[in-house]
Amino acid sequence: MKFRIVAGCAALGFALAASAQNLVITNARIIDGTGNVIERGSVTVKDGKLISVGAGGAAGSAGTRIDAHGMTVMAGFIDAHRHLIRGDADAWLKDHAGDNMKSFVNAGFTTVFSMGDDPKGILELRRRLKTGELAGPTLYATRVIPLSGPMPRPAAAPRGPFTDLARTDPARPPDRPETAPPAIPDEESRAAVRAAKQEGFDAIKTFMLATPGGPEGHTLSVIVDEAHRQGLRVFTHATAVQDALAAVNAHVDVLAHTAHIGRLEEDESARRTLLDSHVPMVSTLAVFIPHFDDQNRPLFRDGGPFPMPRPLSSGGQGPVNARILWEGGMAYAYGTDTQWDPRASLADELRALNLVFSPRDIIKILGPNTAAAINKSGELGTLEPGKNADIVLIDGDPLQDVFNLTCVVLVVKDGKVMVDHRGKHRAATD
């Protein structure tokens, strides 16, 4: 199997956002995200919404006609776990926000959920995107709220030669704290949630690290209760299975990572609890497992060092746990937890997902499951009449080679053509 080199289809440049158009995309392979594939069909768009998705040429439909030349259309991509702002927020907004936002749309991402950024900066970025000052994806912002006072840090355990971040994750023994941190009064936690609502945040983010007899589970349940009263949902970071259990027991809405510390194949009760909670889980597999080269070869093979002295390279249990939960029916969703280029980040996450998921699975993860995780199933994630006209055109068939998802050549957001590089790509089937 030949894998496409990501750089080979990187589309550069950016078409400025036009006003909402009535569009007819014809001659397309349509992967609608619900499981249907239409080999030659059309998608029609009116007033920023999808009007029809079906076989044939949509004869008689009004609007600008876009010939897909047999390329694939899918719903715009969603990253449910990103970090955006680097360094000083004002400087980043001034110098980097514009290019950064374009890089998301160029890669096909029409919706991005920030899982923790400078609070003022991320709200300002969202404002600029909403008003059209900046062209880019729809952005949602979370406010981080603590579950306890400062966590006692045990003396660093002796380490081998590879001190990557996944090994020094405080959720991983022997670094896991064995004494409880101070509690935060309930009213303080509730006030923090109400303040986040007042400031205009879309959701709450918390970090679960459950200590013996500690306050984290109780505090999280208080935050969830107040958040739900305020109409906010709660995303929780949990990298160990026991922390994911503490989070679902506090009735959080989304697990922001795949729990990769702890083996679900050896823990039927944990598996059952996670599945019975019906809490969706966001992938973020690639930041925790060894990277691969652009031919998808593991870098530690063929003379490379093993284990690999790269950051976050010891979380290989993540894909196994993900597959176990998938088999049990978990609504598994897409997110990267990265700060690097969105297209490269997509390729990295696909390499990790590709270890345990078929292209068909990955399309479901990327589309409807991620829309559901961010509570936007009514608007996003599939190509169905009535949903937002967030559409990507892909050179190649991702069901044949999932890495074709990195070959986005045209992007429509809310009915506006934001990127159009069809001219630079050979028609797939003409």
In whole angstroms, how far apart are CA 214 and each of 187, 189, 306, 415? 18, 16, 37, 50
Q: Which residues 112-171 are close enough to bind Zn ion by CB under 5 A?
A: 115
CB 7 within 8 A of CB 406: no
CB 30 within 8 A of CB 53: yes
Reported residue count of the chain is 430
In angstroms, what is the minimal distance from the CB of 255 to Zn ion? 12
In angstroms, what is the minimal distance from the CB of 205 to Zn ion? 8
38 vs 220, beta carbon nearer Zn ion = 220
In angstroms, what is the minimal distance from the CB of 269 to Zn ion? 28
Q: How far from chain centre, in Å, is Cα 259?
A: 15
Supply the DSSP string of 93-109, one letter for each residue. Answer: HHHTHHHHHHHHHHTTE
* By the rule CB under 5 A, 349 interacts with Zn ion: no
Q: Which stretch binds Zn ion (CB under 5 A): 105-113, 202-210, 335-343, 398-406?
A: 335-343
Q: Which residues 96-115 are close enough to bind Zn ion by CB under 5 A?
A: 115
Q: Which stretch binds Zn ion (CB under 5 A): 45-53, 89-97, 221-229, 337-345?
A: 337-345
In angstroms, what is the minimal distance from the CB of 257 to Zn ion? 7
CA distance 256 to 171: 15
In angstroms, what is the minimal distance from the CB of 412 to Zn ion? 28
Phi and psi angles of residue 240, each rounded to the nearest 5 degrees, phi first: -105, 150
Answer whether the bond into residue 146 is a cis peptide, omega within 30°.
no
Residue whose CB is nearest to Zn ion in the complex, by number = 337
In angstroms, what is the minimal distance from the CB of 206 to Zn ion? 12
* By the rule CB under 5 A, 337 interacts with Zn ion: yes
CA distance 9 to 50: 27
72 vs 284, beta carbon nearer Zn ion = 284
28 vs 238, beta carbon nearer Zn ion = 238
Q: Tell me how many residues contact Zn ion (CB under 5 A).
A: 2
Binding-site ranges for Zn ion (CB under 5 A): 115, 337
